[in-house]
Structure 1
Amino acid sequence: MTETPSTADARLTELLAQAHAALGDAVLRSLTAQGGVPELRDPDLALDRLVAQSGRALADEITRRLGPAPTPPPASVPDAPDPLRARPAPLRLRYRAQALDLLHPYQVDALLDRLQAAVVCLGRLAVTVFHDQTPDGPEVARLGRVLESAFRSVDELPRRPPRKPSAPAADGYLETITLLLVEHSDRIRYETEAAREYAAENIDELLAQAVDPHPEADLSVLAVAAVDLQDDLEGIRQTAVRLSRTVGRVQDAACDFRGEDLRVVELDDVPLAGVRWNTATTWPQEWEDRIRRVSSPSAPGTYVIKAEPEPSSVAADA
């Protein structure tokens, strides 16, 4: 039987009424499960509570960051295959001095310490302002010094060398080391330039206002700027951690020769102090006794060369 238009409209109205009733029941059950109908709040009061909750969450995050920086994994255990350790051991030993010379300009430990100090100072400043306290002059002056010290450490990092048209020396080994290092230092320099500009535009004037605030000054802007700059510097510090790991990988490639066959290496002009070797390492026959005399055990079956081999050196334990 075909429905008339009036019958269809009545049927649709009935279905809508049933759906509306079902929706109302579902909403009521949901509200009951949450403790009843929520209290109606004044919009300004709700905004104040939201701002307070955000401030507390931000203060908690800053406090967490003020703790000690996480210790990076040992550099001798890379996350991926190491292109340096994959090079032949005789090549790594022959160019050991040059590889270590490439590391001298990278004062990564000092860089990490100064970046961490800046992160901590910015966090303390933000916490002070969030607690409705005005930072004092010495605190502001110290922050300025710490920031300048961190930026200066970045400026001292080596820059990418110009490309040379000649064939790479040492089968490209030294060039590989250089590129691995400057990949991180270039990134640190780029990120620091942006952070330095942000500090000049958003921090310096606000710090002056904080020392001598006028009645209309809104120091909460300073807290937000401090947290933003803190985020930037923490990102730079993480890049510096990756640079530190790369430095460790270069040191390992230049110093760890456990289990390697080094009989083909001419050792007369190779600095050996600091080299790690073990009972499976094979030296040129004429060097075996000289190397053992200047080596000390560092672990069962493992030795470290303490000085350049000399005939008069004290013998190491067998």
Structure 2
Amino acid sequence: VTPTATQTPRPTATRRATFTPVPATPSDTPTPTVTPTPIIYVIKKGDTLIPIARKFGVTVAAIQEANGITDPRRLRIGQEIIIPVEAAPGPTVVPTPTPVALRIQGLGFYRTPVGNLWCLGEVRNLSGRPAEEVQVQVSLHDEQGALLDLGTAFVQLDIVAAGGRAPFAILFPAPPESFAQYQTRVLSGVPHTHLGPRYPDLEVTEQWGGYGEDGRSYRVTGTVRNTGQADAERVSVVVTLYNGQNHVVASRTVEIAAEVFLAGAEAPFEVVLTPLDEVARYDVQVQGWWIGYEIPLPTETPGE
């Protein structure tokens, strides 16, 4: 859902960051690095591979490959799995093959008053099927192509719908004073083949967006409705702000306050963001999980 930003009178604000567009360049051939000793993780009640992978900064595919896991729904409480830790940052990172067509777009670089550099953007799913475990990499280079800095991030949605998009944000806490070019890569992104614990029957209504009285913050409100026949939990909304050139200027994920989101229920939400450039429009997406979804014990059958 992408309404146009409401034009309301507001005080003049001083920019807190500057937008720095630079030309993209082709990616160099990645150089493999030595893999360090892996970590052993013990599965707990409620665990799934997606949050585990995000916690350790690896992909679900890497965990499955390291442990021979063919069906991530059949994990066992108390099971020990290997977390294949990636090597320390080097000149380049070897990307995981991406079996779905994904494109990085809407990229913008914004310097903050404290010297940080934010890289904001989004990933569009160009394929005809949903994708999950979408992770991106952005690297900064000088005029000769030498690497100056590098960052990675997962998108802010667990599943990117077919034809859909999801925002990401990468913070460079100690960036170079300047850079001449950058490179972008989709490090991972696999087809979403089963629903698993995700709850699909959520929709957003009664949206509104506009600047706050301070002229700097941007407020988005609305209502989330459970249109399904089951209860949901961990429901969250993801708000993305864009400028007039369709660059991402802010994004934020906020959880709905209700711990249990009953079938047919509604809940209001309010998201306040600090955009890094003028806002022309916004987008709101929602995601959630089935209530009571658990990793089955060895003697049980997955409840799907």
Normalising TM by the smaller chain, what interval?
A: under 0.3
Larger radius of gyration: 1
Normalized per residue, the structure richer in helix is 1
Tell me the TM-score normalized by structure 2: 0.21
More strand by share: 2
Query: Normalised by the size of structure 1, how large is the TM-score?
Result: 0.20
